[in-house]
A and B are shown apart, each in its own frame.
Chain A
Amino acid sequence: MGKLEIKADRYDFKEDIDYKMRFPNGLSEKTIKNLSDIKGEPNWMKEFRLNAYRFFSRRPMPSWIDGLDQLNLDDISYFALASEKKSTSWDEVPQKIKDTYDKLGIPEAEKKALGGVEAMFDSTVVYNNVREELKKEGIIFCDTDSAVKDYPELVKKYFGKVVSPNDNKFAALNSALWSGGSFIYVPKGVKVKLPLQAYFRINAANLGQFERTLIIADEGADVTYIEGCSATTYSKESLHAAVVEIIAMKGAHVKYITIQSWVCDVFSVSSKRAFAYENAYVEWIDANVGAKLTAKYPSVYMLEPGAKANILSIAFADKDQHQDAGAKAVHLAPATSSVIRSKSICLNGGRTTYRGLVKIPRGSRDSSTSVTCDALIFDDYSRTDTYPYMEISEESADVSHEASVGKIGDDQRLYMESRGIPENEGINMIVLGFVGEFVKELPLEFALEFNRLIKINMENAVG
């Protein structure tokens, strides 16, 4: 292992931004109307938002997620505008905002390894650019606000169709208040060789960030999308509530990678779902590090024969953090298959929960699912729970499920130390080994970044 230079403040720094606009805390129908007016949206979208808001108002807070009751929706501002302009060149991005992304290494990664980048700062997208050769192939990658204006047909056809605004309280909240996020369309047969990346940053305190992403991979298309998220410790009690919708048409492949590294006080409650049609393959590779509470269960609905799902998640919970993460695979056609792997690490009293649902109804013949949950626990006061629900009513289904809880005991630390490996380095090796399966799924640049993220968190946690 090479020595990586570790700076604990790599993600945790704040820029003093002169905000152009910030909504007062609290939420009402007026907030929604204001937002829609500022955006100059068509009426149908305004109606969509208002309907969603009405549903949201009627729904109670989900009680089954421990810790969500600490979220006070009246203490949050629902829109903060740091820059009025969206640029296609980093040079045009206001200096302080650009500094943030420089520190996060985004422009550098863009040059080396990405096909396109979008940067969202608090409530709006401040930068978006796509390589020329990708544009020539008809690939669209822009923020969702622009898509409403520039590609109304596509948006109208698919927006809110995978995750209905009435799906759950937080999907409704996002549908009412969404701002920013990515819109991607990959035409028939086009394979995007370099990944596309969006980076979501929360800089303001007490902010609600409502990223809205829609990815459409047409027949035979192939795309990898990477979502990075981070915030500063100053952005206390903020809420990130995303809705992500993916449509993978016949034979398409979509790989969606999330590297979420929120600081302690962020609540992250997202609805992520994909529709996979005939022989399509959808992968959710999801890393959750930090956040006061994460509630996120990426789903794949396999709607036609031969569709496949791969859902791999990593959760890392330190003191005062709860990662409630998991996966959902719904087999609605014959010969569909899903693989779900969950790996979680908890220490210093942190808590991880795996919550999964696999459905194989009668008629989805010759389908298979495999669910594996591994937890690594450091001490007696951390906690891990597993809720792997399976609803299998098709007799021909091939189902497997394994769960394990490992403990990094004194003996393991001592064994490594006895061979000259210092305790911290030993723990790092164990943790990086544990998450190795996840890291293998990442493009190289991000694998390095992820390992660095884990090391920083381990350094902070173990000291």
Chain B
Amino acid sequence: MENRIDIEKLSVRIKEKNLLREVSLHVKTGETHILMGPNGSGKTTLARAILGDKRYTVTEGRIEFNGADMLKLKPHERARMGIFVSFQEPVTLQGVNTLSFLKASYESINSTKVTMSEFKNIVGKNLQRIGLPESVNERYVNEGFSGGEKKKFELLQLLLLKPKIAILDEIDTGLDLDSMKVLSNAVNEMLPETGFLIITHNDRILKHIKPTLVHVMKEGSITRSGGLELVEEIEKGGYKIG
């Protein structure tokens, strides 16, 4: 089944500050969109608005999932529909065991119950693939994780939750070369079932992923959309383009 997220002329504000102005973006199953842009241009704001962070106020425009309005839904309801938004800086949950956390998340999103031993199996395979040790299961969520481990843990959740639409906010920052490969393999493997919006600063990820479109965001607006040639332009001239 094809799924799609449609962002239509979205304007977003935090307190009195306008962060996004009339942003439109459409992502559907099988597509990979790359969103680039300088720091503070509004990329993370867009991710947060899709996630439903109530600190960000949508002043205009729509976000629709398969034609249905998403804006009134709570973050966990959006997640249950199949929207996954990774965190640029994953949060530490002191005292919350990783495995219990992953299981609660997995069960909620799939509306199912699994036994702990079944679930350990599911997680185990993915841990191996990502290159995280089994001992992660005994730790608390993101507590004492290195920058790279935190990103791998986000990647683990992407693999486990198999979202319909995935917004990956700088998931590649801090990942080593091997993990980058795992990430791009995962994206390519999931593509038949998933649409991706990948926010990045880094063209390394484009070695193994073919973007459907590359978008450049500046000062809260998408200024250009195009093919890989945009990335080359940025490499040469920075974000002066557009």
Bound together, the chains give a CA A425 to CA B161 distance in angstroms of 18
Q: Closest Cβ of chain A: how far from B114's Cβ, in Å?
A: 12
Least CB distance from B153 to A in Å reads: 11
**What class of interface size applies to chain A in its complex with B?**
20 to 34
* Total inter-chain residue pairs, C-beta < 8 Å: 76
In chain B, what residue has the closest Cβ to A409? B91
What 0/1 pattern do residues 107 to 139 of B give for CB contact below 8 A with A? 011000000000000000000000000000000
A420 and B100: CB pair below 8 A? no
By the criterion CB–CB under 8 Å, are B76 and A411 in contact? no
Tell me if B204 is interfacial: C-beta within 8 Å of chain A: no
A1 touches B75 (CB 8 A): no
Main secondary structure of the interface of B (DSSP, over half): mixed
CB-defined contacts of A416 to chain B, threshold 8 Å: 76, 93, 101, 105
Q: Is the CB of B85 within 8 A of A418?
A: yes
Task: Check B93 against A420 for contact (C-beta < 8 Å).
Answer: no
Asked if A414 meets B75 with Cβ closer than 8 Å, knowing A420-B80, A433-B93, the reply is: yes
Could you tell me if B97 and A433 are in contact, using CB atoms closer than 8 angstroms? yes
Contact A421 B108 (CB under 8 A): yes
Q: Which size class do B's interface residues fall under?
A: 20 to 34
Q: How far is the CB of A410 from chain B (nearest CB, A)?
A: 7
Q: For the complex, would chain A's binding face be called helix, strand, loop or mixed by DSSP majority?
A: helix
Interface residues in B71-85 by Cβ distance below 8 A to A read 74-76, 79-80, 84-85
Which B residues lie within 8 Å of A1 (CB)?
100, 104
A434 adjacent to B75 (CB under 8 Å): no
Mark each residue of chain A from 417 to 457: 1 if its CB lies under 8 Å from any CB of chain B, else 0: 11111110100011011101000000000000000000000
Q: Of all chain A residues, which has the CB nearest B140?
A: A433
Knowing A417-B76, A418-B85, A420-B109 touch, does A429 contact B104 (C-beta < 8 A)?
yes
> Which residues of chain A from 373 to 405 have a CB within 8 Å of any chain B CB?
none
Q: Does A13 contact B (CB under 8 A)?
A: no
> Measured between alpha carbons, how far is A430 from B91 in the docked complex, in Å?
12
**Measured CA separation A425–B80 after assembly (Å):** 14
Residue of A with least CB distance to B91: A415
Contact of B91 among A406, A411, A420, A433 (CB under 8 A): A411
Contact sample, A vs B, 5 pairs, CB 8 Å cutoff? A1-B100, A418-B75, A420-B109, A433-B140, A434-B95
Q: Which residues of A contact B (CB under 8 A)?
A: 1, 406, 410-412, 414-423, 425, 429-430, 432-434, 436
